Amino acid sequence: MSSDVKVSPRKLNGAVRAIPSKSQAHRALICAALADKPTTIECEGGSDDITATLDCLSALGAKIERESSVYIVSPLKRDAHDIATLGCGESGSTFRFMLPIVGALGRKASFVLKGRLPERPLSPLYEELVRHGAELSPHGVVPFFTEGKLAPGHYSLDAGVSSQFISGLLFALPLLDGDSELQLTGKAESFPYIELTLAMLEIFGIRTEFKDNVFYIHGRQIYRSPGTAHVEGDWSNAAFWLSAGAIGSGSITCTGLNLKSKQGDRAILDILTKFGAHIEVKENDSTVTVSGGKLRGIEIDARDIPDLVPILAVVGAKAEGKTVIRNAARLRTKESDRLAAVNAVLRELGADANETADGLVIHGSTVFKGGQVSSCGDHRIAMSAAIAATVCAEPVVIKGAQAVNKSYPGFFDDLRLLGPLVEAVKV
């Protein structure tokens, strides 16, 4: 993929198959590496983030083989004493999941972090790990070093910072020598991602109890391989195609989606319906078809669906009236400051958009003019800009379009199949 890509506006029509859920793949691969025997993970395709998790698990001694559309994962080494070098790339999930796991295993490790990942929040997970026996480098240092073995006991996290901190401890605490409690304080953000973790843990035989904002977790549990685990289609990335159908003059069908998924971004269907898009669901075929309607502005609480904000902002700019997106302040610490980046893209294309402290206000029904925008090194900004380009008056050049490789390397190939002219730009 060239670093810059030009997308020329064309009517979109057709079908695209949802790629495997990145969130679910991380979780399945980690559980498989911690299991008692090999596991086959059914997962078509991959991405830079998934590669980061695979590399970390391999560095800890797991044997991972790729055969056709599956990963065969043999468990990591529990008795190793060498210093493992774990390359996390720019994957926040990989780093925040693996850090507690390494502590639970009592391993020494050096984490290699890229992009904005060293700057992204690590508190209060950092302090809780130190309080329970981990020795960690100062926050922001690269490579980031850890040693020491976590002790069981009472852990407490502010649930409003990152669900990834909670998931990381949910993976780690069952491995400890005694029972633990994980107390959540504050209002939980992105709780559906925690539910994804709990569902995968259950598949691998790990039990937790949740009562009054406290997880009760027995120690010395054994991750038991189910033999085979399936990674379902990704609602987060399908949202780009479904939104393209909502703002365009054609219709887009997305296949391979679990209509009963625990993925929080399945909410895209309800949100597009509220905007006024026409949606047809065929549950037996795992397909969703979206076509445009008379779109109208709405209010969106993004607390549980932060990854949808960039593309929903594009839909809001094409809807009549005002769209308000709230409770999205955490997007300022993603691969880019996503609120600033989305706002910049929309304004560059001619939309009436403004940032707030925790979201965006968009006055829609905009005629996008085309031009040049930056991905800001962020996969979701690049994909949102590309979808916006399909309804512009003139072509759009997306600078740094290779950012899509983080989650969806084949994005522009799939976009091209739906109709638009997609060209690499020679720099």
The full set of domains in the chain, from first to last, is 4-19+234-424 (3.65.10.10), 22-215 (3.65.10.10)
Q: Other C-beta atoms within 10 Å of 276: how many?
A: 17
Mean pLDDT computed over every residue of the chain: 95
Choice between 161 and 32, residue whose per-residue pLDDT is larger:
32
Q: Are 261 and 232 in contact (CB under 8 A)?
A: yes
Q: Are 331 and 307 in contact (CB under 8 A)?
A: no
Per-residue pLDDT reduced to its tens digit, 251-277: 999 999 999 999 999 999 999 999 999
List the catalytic residue out of 48, 265, 307, 378: 307
Per-residue pLDDT reduced to its tens digit, 274-330: 999 999 999 788 999 999 989 999 999 999 999 999 999 999 999 999 999 999 999
The token pair that represents 382 in the structure block: 């690049």
Per-residue pLDDT reduced to its tens digit, 393-424: 999 999 999 999 999 999 999 999 998 889 99
pLDDT confidence of 236, banded at 50, 70, 90?
very high
> What residues have CB less than 8 Å from 400, skipping those under 6 apart?
3, 4, 374, 375, 376, 377, 382
Per-residue pLDDT reduced to its tens digit, 207-226: 999 999 999 999 999 999 99
Per-residue pLDDT reduced to its tens digit, 13-53: 999 999 999 999 999 999 999 999 999 999 998 899 999 99
Q: Is residue 307 among the annotated active site residues?
A: yes
Alpha carbon distances (Å) from 212 to 172, 187, 215, 223, 423: 21, 13, 9, 26, 54
List 223's β-bridge partners, or say none.
35
Per-residue pLDDT reduced to its tens digit, 42-86: 999 889 999 999 999 999 999 999 998 999 999 998 887 889 999
Q: Are 203 and 229 in contact (CB under 8 A)?
A: yes
Per-residue pLDDT, averaged over 229-258, amounts to 96
Q: In the prediction, which pLDDT does 427 show?
A: 62
Q: In the prediction, which pLDDT does 258 show?
A: 94
